[in-house]
Structure 1
Amino acid sequence: MQSMSKHTIRQIIETRMPRDGMIQTGIKGVQLFRATEAVPCAPAVYEPCVIAIVSGGKETILDGQRYVYDSSEYLCCPMSMPVEAGTPTASAENPLYGVYIALDQRHMSELTIEMEASGSRIPRAESTPRGIRLARWDNGFLDALLRLVQLWEDATDVAVLGNARLRELYYAVLKGEAGAFARETFSPGNAIARSIAHVSSQPEAPVSIDDMANRAGMSRAVFHRKFKQATAMSPIQFVKSMRINNAAMKIAGGMTVSEAAMEVGYVSASQFSREFKRMYGQSPRQWSDTHQLPVGEE
């Protein structure tokens, strides 16, 4: 049953995508992607999302921890995260096909509240995943994803049913193996998630850890500890990684090093270059000569 449904999703992507890349489906935040060339892991920023692979494999690295996943698990990233990502195993013989679904903060929070208010017992997370969680496909998630992707074949279906099918998929994520992790993140009381959303919405703006702690309503020490529990990074490391990765994506898209550095809030291009080299072992210019933007990180 699962293999047949995943094959159907793959067929839809194959039919619509004769070339590599990402395309919009008409449903807000839902994109299909395809890759037939290996791309090594490169700096990227994941906004809150789910990435589901129906053929081939993908790789994501967060603070040194490697997540390799294929059609047996989907990736759940409920907070903006600076990562490295790529498609190192993609080839013409082993193509990568998948679906990217952005997670809308308001809708995910509303569903979380409704689930908590339902009166039924909802399992809590046994441990706190750090920023990213892989989850095994279950029938609820697969059915919701198939129904969502199938809408694309008819524009009227997309317009009339798109939001309802997307809500169904969100619910399947919140009930699935990564559900407790996602519900905890989208809970209205999660101050760390709110501070990350604020920083990621304006990566070029000056920010201090005291400001972030005050916004979260915590002391600096408590905020630092809880932030690292949630993301595996210190707040300073997180902010720096977000800026450098955002700049790297702009450079990969054709922007000059100086322009990209200024766009993400660096006053000095030389300081940006030093910090980039410290993080990735190459100067931004050396790095841009050997990297391209990986599929799924646009």
Structure 2
Amino acid sequence: MNTDFAVTDASARLERDRLELAARIERRAGSDGLHTTPLPALSFFRAAIPGTQVCAIYETGLVLVAQGAKELQLGGETYRYDAANYLIASVDLPVSSEVVVASAEQPYLCAMLRLDTRRLGELLAEASPQFPAGVSGRGISVSPVDGAILDAMLRLVRLLDAPADLPVLAPLIERELMYRLLVGEQGPRLRHVATAGSRGQCVSHAIGWLRRHYHEPLRIDALAETVNMSASSLHHHFRAITAMSPLQYQKQLRLQEARRLLLARQCDVASAAHRVGYESPSQFSREYSRLFGAPPLRDVEQLLQHGSTADAVSLAG
């Protein structure tokens, strides 16, 4: 009987915390789109209209939904996350996503915390006897929300109303959240990319190089040497984590950056193609159409007509 009461009390607290988190996000994110906060690693996302598919880079981090639901596609796999399930990205990944539950009365609301793999590695080193080795797998996954993670996120969001406390207390709560994630269901996935010298960390370094040099020609042998792997090992582990090859990953980075340039009206199609590394504008247009479903100009016009600019160019949780 006591166990039943404990479960009921825990469920009630989860619901109270979720409702408070939703109210606090809605207060700071009064319009659809991505909203930054005074805490650089923390941002909010709001969407009142379901059904628009968005291509974006999901950076390494935690997405905690307070209201509504979203689906994400990576390599033919679909991940659904909502108020009962949080999402973890252990590396930066180009994905497509779609809000599937939202309305004007109850918009989709989420909090996103960017995770620093260097700090995760430092935390691992301090508590190394407690953590077994990480395991390989997709760089993105979904797990049930538990009270400790939701409570820590809510306390972090509350701190936004106490700006004088942010510099001292926010790093402590961020560290607590990282610890909760490392000991939770997604711990092995995070440990795989945060452990010094692991294959996952090498892939993470390769992804970082690609993000910095996406517009340059890609030589797999040179990239593998940069991250201390053989070319075959890099290809195998990169695909296991990202569901794509390094070349496919670079292509998505190039096309998403070109889309951002076009939406911002910073250049024409040929110039955008050249700036992201394409020598042939016709090849660029073909690959752009395959990824986004329409040629560059038509795609941009459709996005602007539907007011989707902010969603299309942002990290959308």
TM-score by length of 2: 0.85
Q: Name 2:102's counterpart in structure 1.
A: 90
Matches within 5 A, 1:194-273: 194-255=205-266, 256-273=268-285
Post-superposition Cα deviations, 1:202-246, rounded to whole Å, max 9, x if no partner, equal 322332111111123232222212221222112211211222123
Shift in CA distance, 123/188, structure 1 to aligned 2, threshold 3 Å: closer
Matches within 5 A, 1:94-173: 94-116=106-128, 119-120=129-130, 122=132, 124-125=134-135, 128-173=136-181
Is contact 2:133–2:192 with CA below 8 Å preserved after alignment? no
Q: Which runs of 5+ in 2 are unaligned?
A: 1-12
Percent identity of the aligned residues? 32
Q: Name 2:191's counterpart in structure 1.
A: 183
Is contact 1:109–1:186 with CA below 8 Å preserved after alignment? yes
Q: Name 1:24's counterpart in structure 2.
A: 36
Shift in CA distance, 262/86, structure 1 to aligned 2, threshold 3 Å: farther
Question: Residues of 2 paired with 1:73 and 1:249: CA distance?
Answer: 30
Using the TM superposition, give the Cα deviation of residue 71 of structure 1 relative to its aligned residue in structure 2, in angstroms. 0.7
CA-based RMSD = 2.1
Is contact 1:75–1:133 with CA below 8 Å preserved after alignment? yes
Aligned match for 1:57, one of 47, 66, 69: 69
Confirm or deny that 1:297 pairs with 2:315. yes
Query: 3-state DSSP class of the match of 2:62?
Result: strand
Is contact 2:90–2:140 with CA below 8 Å preserved after alignment? yes
Farther-moved stretch of structure 1 (44-53 vs 257-266): 257-266
Shift in CA distance, 212/286, structure 1 to aligned 2, threshold 3 Å: same
Question: Residues of 2 paired with 1:186 and 1:83: CA distance?
Answer: 22
The number of aligned residues is: 294
Is contact 1:59–1:68 with CA below 8 Å preserved after alignment? yes
Question: Residues of 2 paired with 1:167 and 1:259: CA distance?
Answer: 43
Shift in CA distance, 47/121, structure 1 to aligned 2, threshold 3 Å: closer
Using the TM superposition, give the Cα deviation of residue 253 of structure 1 relative to its aligned residue in structure 2, in angstroms. 4.1
Farther-moved stretch of structure 1 (276-285 vs 101-110): 276-285
Q: Name 1:277's counterpart in structure 2.
A: 289
Question: Residues of 2 paired with 1:15 and 1:245: CA distance?
Answer: 30
Post-superposition Cα deviations, 1:100-132, rounded to whole Å, max 9, x if no partner, equal 11111321221122232xx2354754xx33121
Shift in CA distance, 202/121, structure 1 to aligned 2, threshold 3 Å: closer
Greater relative contact order: 1 or 2 (C-alpha under 8 angstroms, separation 6 or more)?
A: 1
Farther-moved stretch of structure 1 (201-210 vs 184-193): 201-210
Shift in CA distance, 223/55, structure 1 to aligned 2, threshold 3 Å: same
Aligned match for 2:78, one of 61, 66, 69: 66
Is contact 2:139–2:189 with CA below 8 Å preserved after alignment? no
Using the TM superposition, give the Cα deviation of residue 266 of structure 1 relative to its aligned residue in structure 2, in angstroms. 2.1
Question: Residues of 1 paired with 2:60 and 2:153: CA distance?
Answer: 17
Post-superposition Cα deviations, 1:58-106, rounded to whole Å, max 9, x if no partner, equal 2221122221211111111121111112324322133111101111132
Q: Name 2:9's counterpart in structure 1.
A: none
Q: Which runs of 5+ in 1 are unaligned?
A: none
Farther-moved stretch of structure 1 (219-228 vs 246-255): 246-255
Shift in CA distance, 123/218, structure 1 to aligned 2, threshold 3 Å: closer
Farther-moved stretch of structure 1 (158-167 vs 176-185): 158-167
Question: Residues of 2 paired with 1:246 and 1:59: CA distance?
Answer: 22
Is contact 1:22–1:31 with CA below 8 Å preserved after alignment? yes
CA radius of gyration, larger in: 2
